[in-house]
Structure 1
Amino acid sequence: MYKVQNKIKQTALTALVLILTAYSLHAEVLLIERVESKSGMSLPTKSQTMAKVQAQFGEPLSQSAPVGEPPITQWAYADFVVYFEHSHVITTVIKKSSETEIGPKAIEPASHNEETNPIDNKDN
């Protein structure tokens, strides 16, 4: 009796692993297809200046204050986020299409009253 119960548990576990594997493979294919479909979209390119990005794509929806050294700034547009080092593009990331998709975190607009550097505010 014990062997039969053990065999049933093993079969159920194997089936669950197969179902979860198939689901994750399906999700990866959808993400890949979405990225490929966006590949034709116009995006800022590496080393473009802030002025050129703004001239081509308009005013960003939000901007972060420069953080760190060298200073890194984020500009958020409807479909993508642009990351600048000093005033030049270092990368552009397409935003996630749903809350369940893993992608870049939303940025919050910088408050002009915050003059502190987050690196200097280490909790001891």
Structure 2
Amino acid sequence: MSGTYSIYVKYAQNVADIGFLTTTIFCSILIYLTIFKVKRNFGSYTYLLVLFPALGIFFATLEIVLYPNVFHHDASYVFYSTSRPFGMGKNAVIILLGFYGGVYAFTVSMLSVQFLYRYWAIF
């Protein structure tokens, strides 16, 4: 890796570390409040409010384990990792990166579902 860009990789890893801590803390608080402190029964929306932060914690955990890098060009993304966590082989890291991409896509789709649910609830 070039010496000029290695400092940015370190910054990105520090941001991922801070993001993991804040995501774990705040999403855990949100899950706790949703499950134990909300008095009204919102039905399936309650499950959505618990699933989304749980998925966020899982996504942050995957990010902290893999430290993936993303290259974006036009309409495509390339996920790659320069680390081998836990001494995994290349194929295991490739499978985890594919899983990371799937969790990322699922997170974005959950945002759209929440938007549509709230839109339909208002109108």
TM-score surpassing 0.5? no
Q: Which structure has the larger Rg over C-alpha atoms? A: 1
Indicate the structure with greater helix content: 2
Q: TM-score range by the shorter chain?
A: 0.3 to 0.5
Q: Higher strand proportion, which one?
A: 1
TM-score, normalisation: structure 2: 0.32
Scaled by the length of structure 1, what TM-score is found? 0.32
